[in-house]
Amino acid sequence: MKGKLYAVGVGPGEPSLLTIKALKVLEEARVVAVPKGKAEKGSLALSIIKDYIKDKEVLELVFPMTDNKEVLEEFWEKAAEKVGALLEKGEKVVFATLGDPSLYSTFSYLKSYLEKQGNSFSVEVIPGINSFSAAASLLQLSLVEGDQNLAVVSAPQNISRLKEVLKIFDTVVILKVNKYLEEIMKVLEEMGLEDKGYFVSRCGREDEYFSRDLKGLLEEKLDYLSMIIVRK
């Protein structure tokens, strides 16, 4: 029997923002795979769903936060081998991912490596509430209206293009900003947009935080779960 891989978006952090469908798939699973950045650290996705999967086998998959392609490939391969072994036995495996699976999720790499390794399996993707929709709700901010346009960018890969993006779009959501605040501030100041940014961290978690004083955060160590929304 062919195995089945479910990608389940577990939302931004608050368990009550899990969808009913996500809960149903988690309830029916025997094995739940979760990504994490370091072997010694906990999985953020697991922290959201832990109360709902107490009787399940949890498979923690390490996807290191590095731009070193060789290192990444080695870990993607290892993760795919572990999940592939279960799928080959005809198991249903749930891969739980932060926010929504279509937005900068490790799920896309897992799926393509499973395919590369010749596994035969079916896939179902369960959408989740993404981080910037949750942040907009927290800020009570309308992201775009009428003829306006929205861009979503990842800071590490786009910092050099940020100015161009900010010129074109009315609202720009910048993810993975934790190590890039200084560079982002520089661009915003050059464009006279320094007062148009909203910083949101750990949205939907107990210690969620937001601020409009981006400059005031320059000396702070920022959490990985941080974003900036620039609303012109």
Ligand X SMILES: C[S@@+](CC[C@H](N)C(=O)[O-])C[C@H]1O[C@@H](n2cnc3c(N)ncnc32)[C@H](O)[C@@H]1O
* Binding site residues, ligand X, CB under 6 A: 12-13, 98-100, 103-105, 130-131, 135, 175-176, 200-204, 224-227
Q: Smallest gap, in angstroms, from Cβ of residue 47 to ligand X? A: 11
C-beta closer to ligand X: residue 3 or 204: 204
Instruction: Please give the structure tokens belonging to residue 204.
Output: 């939907």
Q: Strand 209-211's sheet: what is its strand order?
A: 150-154, 171-175, 226-231, 197-201, 209-211
C-beta closer to ligand X: residue 119 or 135: 135
Q: Name the residue among 98, 100, 93, 109 with its Cα closest to residue 36.
A: 98
Query: Are 47 and 12 in contact, with CB atoms under 8 Å apart?
Result: no
Q: Smallest gap, in angstroms, from Cβ of residue 15 to ligand X? A: 12
Strand partners, 62: 36
Beta strands in the chain (DSSP E): 3-9, 31-36, 57-62, 92-97, 121-126, 150-154, 171-175, 197-201, 209-211, 226-231
d(CA 231, CA 229): 6
Q: Which residue is nearest to ligand X (CB)?
A: 99
Q: Smallest gap, in angstroms, from Cβ of residue 113 to ligand X? A: 17
Taken in order 166, 172, 173, 178, the sign of the CA dihedral is positive
Q: Smallest gap, in angstroms, from Cβ of residue 88 to ligand X? A: 27
Burial class (CB in 10 A: 0-12, 13-18, 19+), 105: buried
C-beta closer to ligand X: residue 119 or 166: 166
C-beta closer to ligand X: residue 91 or 100: 100
C-beta closer to ligand X: residue 119 or 130: 130
d(CA 124, CA 147): 33
Instruction: Please give the structure tokens belonging to residue 156.
Output: 């590490």
Q: Smallest gap, in angstroms, from Cβ of residue 147 to ligand X? A: 25
Q: Smallest gap, in angstroms, from Cβ of residue 98 to ligand X? A: 5
C-beta closer to ligand X: residue 105 or 119: 105
C-beta closer to ligand X: residue 85 or 123: 123
Q: Smallest gap, in angstroms, from Cβ of residue 85 to ligand X? A: 26
